[in-house]
Amino acid sequence: MNDGPIGLLFDHSLAVIVTADEDGRFIEASQAACEMFGYSQEQMLLKRIGSFVIPGAEGSSEEHEGYSPNEQDAGEFRFVRPDREMRVVSYSACPLAAGQHLSILRDITERKHSEEALRDSEARFHGLADNIAQLAWIADGSGWIFWYNRRWFDYTGTVLADMQGWGWDKVHHPDHIERVIEKFTHHLQTGEPWEDTFPLRAAEGHYRWFLSRAAPVRNEASEITFWFGTNTDVTEQCEAEEELRERQTEIECLNKRLRRAMTETHHRVKNDLQVISAIIEMEATNGEPTEPNQRLTRHVQALAMIHDLLTAQSKSDDPDTSRVSVQTVLERLVFMLNQSVGDRRIQAHIEEVYVTVEKSASLALLVNECVSNALKHGSGDIDIVLRTYEEGARARLEVRDNGSGFPPGFNAVRSAHTGLELIDVTARWDLRGDVSYENRPVGGACVIITFPLSA
């Protein structure tokens, strides 16, 4: 053993150090070297360097076994310990005295495993990234793109040298590139995830629309180190949305034309009904006005009032002209009826509900008939009340007077001459409801109609 400075180095160093002669046989080995190779001092001095090298093993330096002691050398080799564990070592060798050399070795097995794991991970990443449906790319924290997946190059027909950095602007549509760069730059500065939609030019020269997104990747200090982005082809979706917008525009135009036609129709019907009402009144002037003529006049006037309301509604901004306010219809009807009842008064207490045009006309005729009966057979004021129940699914309409009420044994069917037959038919068939006739405890008659609002 060397008793000089080299000997002290071997005795006290934690480094893996060996010396060998010109045949590669070990002369000295530090304790760390013995532990790394898995042999005792005595066993180490019986071995040659070449006996540790696995011939042809990946990562081994082929020159190592034929090392010349008069030259400096460096490299790597793999060896198997006595416990069958394979290790990887890097070495640096230099000449000492004549025919001897000194080597400093380092166990790099873990580093090699990490490098292999990293290569495997990168291979898996590239395999995945190259086969996803989207175009994909990675930029550094400043937005400089340094990697694209294969689908990007296949679609654009470009190469990395053309696209790296900010070269991607070459495949953007000139009508959109300015706003795209402005928005992307803003998100680079704020660190917020980025999303935009714009066209990209294909290798064949045409453009397709892409939904593009990028998310920042941060380190432990919350600093952005990378941006990972994707571009998803949404051309078919954009075209479908554009077609839908065109159809909606067409529908809006058709609706406007329909509302104009409905306005004209309601206006003409209202005028025709007013003419009919005038003819009835003219007939009545030739003699004493009869009760049937008065009823008919009120019916015609009620229908004219409804069409007047529909004319006004069709001219409004409300797109739904298929439903009308019961409150508005009946309050207008009551106002009109109050003009012809003399000293008696008709009052309405109507909850706001909306029904179809057909149902509103039926309600107006039904209320008009009930009021006509109350005017003829009852006395005092007349109350009209409409309330909903069953969570707004049904409605209850009551028309009350303060007269003597219905006679004992009253039957609406047998009393058709009173006008109640029309009430019964309208309630059951037009409103799909039920009708009943009651006498009020305080005096007077009450007609009750219950019906569904949605039917």
How far is the CA of 300 from the CAs of 279, 283, 369, 377, in angstroms? Answer: 11, 15, 12, 22
Q: Please, are residues 437 and 407 in contact by the beta-carbon 8 Å criterion?
A: no
User: What distance in Å separates the CA atoms of residue 301 and residue 92, rounded to the nearest whole number?
Assistant: 114
Of 363, 429, 445, the residue nearest 396 (C-alpha): 363
Tokens (6 digits) for 286: 């030739």
The pLDDT-based confidence of 16 (bands split at 50, 70, 90) is: confident
In which residue are the tokens 């990490």 written? 114
User: What distance in Å separates the CA atoms of residue 344 and residue 444, rounded to the nearest whole number?
Assistant: 15
The pLDDT-based confidence of 62 (bands split at 50, 70, 90) is: very low
Of 391, 385, 403, the residue nearest 449 (C-alpha): 385
Which of 57-66, 150-159, 277-286 is predicted with the least confidence, judged by mean pLDDT? Answer: 57-66
Which of 154-163, 255-264, 369-378 is predicted with the least confidence, judged by mean pLDDT? Answer: 255-264
The pLDDT-based confidence of 261 (bands split at 50, 70, 90) is: low
Burial class (CB in 10 A: 0-12, 13-18, 19+), 80: middle
| HEC string for 201-266 | ECCCCCEEEEEEEEEEEECCCCCEEEEEEEEEECHHHHHHHHHHHHHHHHHHHHHHHHHHHHHHHH
Helices marked H in 81-219: 109-129, 150-156, 160-163, 177-190
Summarize pLDDT for 110-141 with one digit per residue, the tens: 888 888 887 877 777 776 767 777 899 999 99
Percent of the chain clearing pLDDT 70 (strictly above): 76
| 276-278-284 Cα angle (round to 5) | 105
Which of 173-187, 314-328, 360-374, 429-443 is predicted with the least confidence, judged by mean pLDDT? Answer: 314-328
Report the pLDDT averaged over residues 7-34. 77
Name the residue with higher pLDDT: 342 or 254: 342
β-strand partners of 346: 382
Percent of the chain clearing pLDDT 90 (strictly above): 31
Pairing of strands 346-350, 382-389: parallel
Name the residue with higher pLDDT: 281 or 358: 358
Residues 6+ apart with CB under 8 A from 29: 10, 17, 18, 19, 37, 41, 44, 45
Tokens (6 digits) for 392: 């707004």
Name the residue with higher pLDDT: 174 or 284: 174
| Mean pLDDT, rounded, of the chain | 81
User: What distance in Å separates the CA atoms of residue 357 and residue 166, rounded to the nearest whole number?
Assistant: 63
Burial class (CB in 10 A: 0-12, 13-18, 19+), 85: exposed
Give counts: helices (H), strands (E), the chain.
12, 17
What is the H or E stretch that residue 441 is in? none
